[in-house]
């Protein structure tokens, strides 16, 4: 008789676990939303009778930092295409607009040739790109937040608030005050590994042709009848007979041999009855930021100077006396979605997008990486030593798609064995490398 396994959540972590375990175990997936995929969420837009698939969550990847995802895509025959990972900043209080796409982007506003503040910022960015890599190896900065590091190295406010914080806040979808508390060395290491420290260090980036639904549909095809949509887990109870009971939100009771929490870390403790001290301590160190993604066609939120239009556009404006940041993804640049209409995905738009041009509004949660959370990452593997309750998710490392998928690979190697043909070909660096390690 096969082991009965419940998988809670159908984001990339949950889908991956189901993919790996389906042949050896009897699986059931619980999904609280009305769709499968979590951040793998492609919206189909009707444009004059043609279907335009546009991603609103997971959008891009590269072959250097997403090795396991590449292996999966090759296995599934997922079509991919090259994309451009350009970045711009629009600082409305000062009127500054620039992009990182070469000389013409940095000086898209020609007046900045003679702007000492802008020239100083660019020189400091260049210094940061070189100096931070050296400092990354020094214990002097190992416990510094990004804000503390910037102050120690005497970087100016423009460099911090018009470059570094926009970059980090856009990457992790976090407010600037939280980004300032991000461990400096972890951020530098991430920037270095992803080719963000200079024009000559950039990787080739890709997107899924036809949207990320193309990989999702291939991945779930063999087990989609095992997924309970609109049926989240309300309570998970360990039993004395080493079984686990899952009570669904509709009140149904199910008994399993093991349960995998493939959801966000902060969603576990509210539904897991009598968690261990270890589970409470570790999972309690993770918190999440709610972010609103708005798919729309309103180009008024983009920079005024079209020379600076980029794939990622960070917009800073003043609302009621406070700075209000948002990120605008230009989907025609990122995914070449249309030649007739410009499409955008705004993250945390403060109310600028014309409702008449809004196509879809979606809420996503992203992990917040505090010092405590990053320290906890080093020990997360201990949660999966015995069962019958197991864990995986993007919070095991950087919070991105590759991290979520690789955490599932690591877990399934533990469950099935390192040399099981389903998982043998994948790399598993997560439990030996936290976000703060190399």
CA distance 418 to 402: 19
CA distance 358 to 393: 31
Distance of CA 169 to the CA centre of its chain: 12
CA distance 211 to 60: 10
CB 13 within 8 A of CB 7: no
Q: Which residues pair with 293 in a beta bridge?
A: 347, 362
Peptide bond into 388 cis (omega under 30): yes
The tens digit of pLDDT for each residue in 60-74 reads: 999 999 999 999 999
* pLDDT average per 10 residues of sequence, the chain (438 residues): 97 98 98 98 96 97 94 98 94 94 91 94 94 88 88 94 93 88 86 76 88 98 98 96 96 98 98 97 96 98 96 91 90 96 97 97 93 88 94 95 96 94 83 40
Q: Return the pLDDT at 336.
A: 96
Q: Return the pLDDT at 199.
A: 52
The tens digit of pLDDT for each residue in 129-169 reads: 999 989 888 888 888 889 999 999 999 999 999 999 999 99
Q: Return the pLDDT at 438.
A: 41
CA distance 12 to 93: 39
Pairing of strands 61-62, 253-256: unpaired
Domains of the chain: 3-40+212-285+370-432 (3.50.50.60), 81-206+288-368 (3.90.660)
Q: Return the pLDDT at 429.
A: 64
Phi and psi at residue 300, in whole multiples of 5°? -65, -15
How many other β-carbons are positioned within 10 Å of the β-carbon of residue 103? Answer: 8
The tens digit of pLDDT for each residue in 74-118 reads: 999 999 999 988 999 999 999 999 998 888 999 999 999 999 999
CB 238 within 8 A of CB 388: yes
Q: What is the DSSP string of 128-173?
A: HHHHHHHHTT-GGGTT-BHHHHHHHTT--HHHIIIIIHHHHHHHHT
CA distance 89 to 111: 16
The tens digit of pLDDT for each residue in 71-85 reads: 999 999 999 999 988
CA distance 219 to 217: 5
Residues in the chain: 438
CB 59 within 8 A of CB 43: no
How many other β-carbons are positioned within 10 Å of the β-carbon of residue 220? Answer: 21
Phi and psi at residue 392, in whole multiples of 5°? -160, 165
Distance of CA 202 to the CA centre of its chain: 19
How many other β-carbons are positioned within 10 Å of the β-carbon of residue 145? Answer: 18
């Amino acid at each position: 008789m096969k082991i009965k396994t419940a998988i809670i959540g159908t984001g990339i972590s949950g889908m991956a676990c189901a993919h790996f375990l389906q042949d050896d175990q009897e699986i059931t997936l619980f999904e609280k939303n009305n769709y499968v995929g979590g951040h793998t969420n492609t919206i189909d837009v009707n444009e004059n009778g043609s279907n335009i698939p546009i991603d609103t969550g997971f959008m891009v990847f590269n072959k250097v930092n997403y090795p396991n995802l590449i292996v999966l895509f090759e296995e599934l025959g997922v079509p991919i295409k090259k994309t451009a990972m350009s970045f711009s900043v629009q600082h409305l209080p000062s009127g500054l607009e620039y992009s990182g796409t070469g000389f013409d982007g940095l000086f898209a506003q020609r007046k900045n040739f003679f702007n000492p503040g802008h020239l100083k910022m660019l020189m400091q960015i260049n210094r940061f790109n070189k100096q931070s890599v050296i400092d990354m190896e020094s214990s002097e900065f190992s416990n510094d937040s990004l804000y503390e590091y910037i102050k120690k190295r005497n970087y100016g406010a423009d460099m911090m608030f018009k470059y570094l914080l926009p970059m980090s806040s856009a990457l992790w979808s976090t407010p600037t005050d939280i980004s300032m508390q991000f461990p400096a060395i972890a951020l530098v290491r991430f920037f270095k590994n992803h080719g963000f420290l200079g024009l000559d260090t950039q990787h080739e980036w890709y997107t899924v042709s036809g949207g990320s639904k193309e990989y999702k549909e291939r991945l779930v095809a063999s087990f989609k009848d095992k997924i309970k949509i609109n049926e989240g887990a309300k309570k998970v109870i360990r039993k004395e007979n080493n079984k686990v009971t899952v009570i669904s939100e509709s009140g149904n009771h199910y008994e399993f041999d093991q349960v995998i929490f493939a959801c966000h870390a902060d969603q576990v403790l509210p539904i897991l009855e009598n968690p261990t001290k270890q589970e409470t301590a570790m999972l309690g160190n993770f918190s999440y930021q709610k972010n609103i993604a708005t798919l729309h066609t309103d180009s008024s939120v983009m920079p005024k100077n079209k020379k600076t239009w980029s794939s990622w556009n960070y917009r800073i404006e003043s609302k009621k006396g406070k700075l209000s940041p948002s990120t605008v993804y230009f989907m025609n640049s990122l995914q070449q979605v249309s030649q007739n209409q410009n499409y955008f995905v705004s993250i945390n738009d403060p109310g600028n997008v014309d409702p008449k041009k809004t196509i879809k509004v979606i809420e996503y949660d992203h992990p917040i990486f505090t010092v405590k959370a990053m320290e906890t990452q080093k020990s997360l593997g201990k949660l999966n030593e015995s069962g019958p309750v197991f864990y995986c998710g993007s919070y095991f490392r950087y919070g991105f798609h590759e991290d979520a998928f690789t955490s599932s690979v690591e877990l399934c190697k533990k469950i099935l064995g390192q040399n099981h043909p389903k998982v043998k070909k994948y790399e598993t660096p997560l439990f030996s490398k936290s976000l703060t390690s190399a």
